[in-house]
Amino acid sequence: MKNKWSCLAIACLATLLLSLDLTVLHLALPRLVTDLGASSTQLLWIGDIYGFALAGLLVTMGNVGDRIGRKRLLLIGAAAFGVASVITAYAPNAELLIAARTLLGVAGATIMPSTLSIIRNVFTDPGERTTAVGIWSGMSAAGFALGPVVGGLLLDHFWWGSVFLINVPIMVVVLVGGVLVLPESSNPHAGRLDLISVALSFAGIVTTVYAIKEAAHKSLEHTDVLAAGIAGMALLGLFGWRQTRLAEPLIDVRLFRRRAFTASIYTNLLSIFAMSAMMLMFAWYLQLVLGWSPLQAGLAQIPGGLSGAVGGVLAAKLIHRIGRNGVVALGLAMNAGAFLYYSTLGTELNYLVLLPVMIIGGLGIGFAFTVNNDNVLATAPRERAGAAAAVSETAFELGGALGIAILGTVLNSAYRANLVLPAGVPGEAARESIAGAVGTAATLPPDQAGRLVQAAQAAFIEGVHLTSLVTAGLLAVVAVLALVGLRGVPKVIPEEVLAGARS
């Protein structure tokens, strides 16, 4: 196919925008309180509802694309994403903003698995497919890094809705380019969509993600959090059981019998579990400990994201030298080393020393994600590429939610355990988080404020050290699991291997 690289460009552009949209809103949240009068509960829903809808519908939309055509679904999703972006940008109140963010999540769920499944069907040569997946993974990493920077630049000059309007021209390009160059592909033997499985999948994933996120703010001792967690796992269990009884399931559970598929899914989940800790930790460290502005903090993290894009491209070449398991294990080991360095951070920083460490970590995550995503696509039948891509993306979403909940709890618990409040300083808000301490300090006389901020920063650094060491240990274990779990997977996975996935 002569225009397959044009197809890749369109898929990457859509993926870049989706990744950017996950992080671009973070800096705008304080303005929503002032401009829309959003309550703290509404702010949580504004931030989370996009991810809930996205994660809950990925599996369903991946299957819809396999049935009605991936190009058609991508174009429908792009149009809906553009419309929802305009509604979101001009939302007059918090309630409509939450509804518009929900629509953005639904549209995003149609786009994300469609891009990967289109790549799987366009790039039939195994070597070219790995390179294409590497570029796609790199653009996704770049989007996460660019989100805070783009948001900071726009918010310095325009109102909060501008962070959503940037979606519109990009989606117009995706729509026009998609109509002109994308080929249509679908599963010619797909049966009807099982609506019970759709309901179980959506309810199970959303309930589980909700429980994970709430556990980060509260604890499992709260009845609603515990009940949501139990209900979510039960619903997902029922969903899995039903898939074994259907001739045309949403997820072909036989794929999990293939070691490369299963090991790649779990490795990706655990990797993003660890990497989400870095995003949370650095966002607070750079701003609340070093005192950098949001824009400075965003710019400082760009090299890590861009090196992830470079790592995605280099991964295809490394496979031929050290094998698929070697590339994934090397990438995870590089990240483990980066987190070991993060465990030495203090209240002062030489950015020129941090920079190469961030680049090494970014390259490593590019290695791991590229090979794992390629493994998932390569071991799934071409006609079920959308469903396979959706499983991979769902694991990514769940891993991110788990990482923020669990490792965020480790960070905050270490902070609270190490915080020693100066005498006479009110400490209720300060004990909750370093952000609460900085907010409290703003209301105190300069002498007390300085002592409180110093104490909070010292406690937070202890939390950074512990979280970094835990994350480094986890990444080292996952590297060993990848080295063993992906052992024997061919450097080039030929079509005859895929035949085994169909049987």
* Mean pLDDT estimate for the chain: 80
Tell me what pLDDT residue 34 has: 67
Report the distance separating Cα 56 and Cα 77, nearest Å: 16
DSSP designation for 222: S
Q: Judge whether 107 and 77 are in contact, CB under 8 Å.
A: yes
Count of C-beta atoms within a 10 Å radius of residue 64: 26
- Cβ-based neighbours of 44, under 8 Å, separated by 6 or more: 217
| pLDDT for the residue numbered 499 | 39
Helix (H, G, I), strand (E, B) or coil at 487: coil
**What is the rounded distance in angstroms from the CA atom of residue 104 to the CA atom of residue 102?**
5
Residue type, 47: G
Asked if pLDDT for residue 86 goes beyond 80, the answer is: yes
Burial of residue 350, with CB atoms counted within 10 A of its CB: 0-12 exposed, 13-18 middle, 19 or more buried = exposed
Query: What type of residue is 147?
Result: G
- At 444, list the tokens: 């105190």
* CA distance linking residue 417 with residue 414, whole number of Å: 5
Please state, in angstroms and rounded to a whole number, the distance separating the CA atoms of residues 174 and 167: 11
Residues 6+ apart with CB under 8 A from 241: none
How far apart are alpha carbons 329 and 17 in whole angstroms? 29
Which residue type sits at 351?
Y
State mean pLDDT over 425-430.
71
* Encoded tokens for 42: 């509404």
pLDDT band per the 50, 70, 90 thresholds, residue 303 = confident
Torsion angles phi and psi, residue 348, rounded to 5: -125, 150
Q: In the predicted model, what is the mean pLDDT of residues 483-496?
A: 71
Distance CA(329)–CA(475), nearest Å, equals 9
Q: Which among 10-24, 220-234, 460-474 has the top mean pLDDT?
A: 460-474
| Max mean pLDDT range (59-73, 170-184, 478-492) | 170-184
More reliable by pLDDT, 332 or 224: 332
The pTM of the full predicted model, rounded to 2 decimals, is 0.77
Lowest-confidence range among 76-90, 140-154, 175-189, 313-327? 140-154
Alpha helices in 257-384, H assignment, sequence order: 259-284, 294-342, 351-378
**Spatial contact of 205 and 56, defined as CB atoms under 8 Å apart:** yes
Q: Would the CA dihedral through 349, 352, 355, 356 be positive or negative?
A: negative
- Does residue 412 have a pLDDT over 70? yes
Whether the pLDDT of residue 31 is over 80: the answer is no
Which has the closest alpha carbon to 19: 190, 240, 216, 170?
Answer: 170
The one-character DSSP state at 442 is T
pLDDT of residue 40: 62
Span 268-285, average pLDDT: 76
Dihedral of the alpha carbons of 52, 54, 60, 62, in degrees to the nearest 10: -160
Report pLDDT for 28: 67
Q: What is the pLDDT at residue 410?
A: 81
Quote the tokens at residue 480: 């060993």
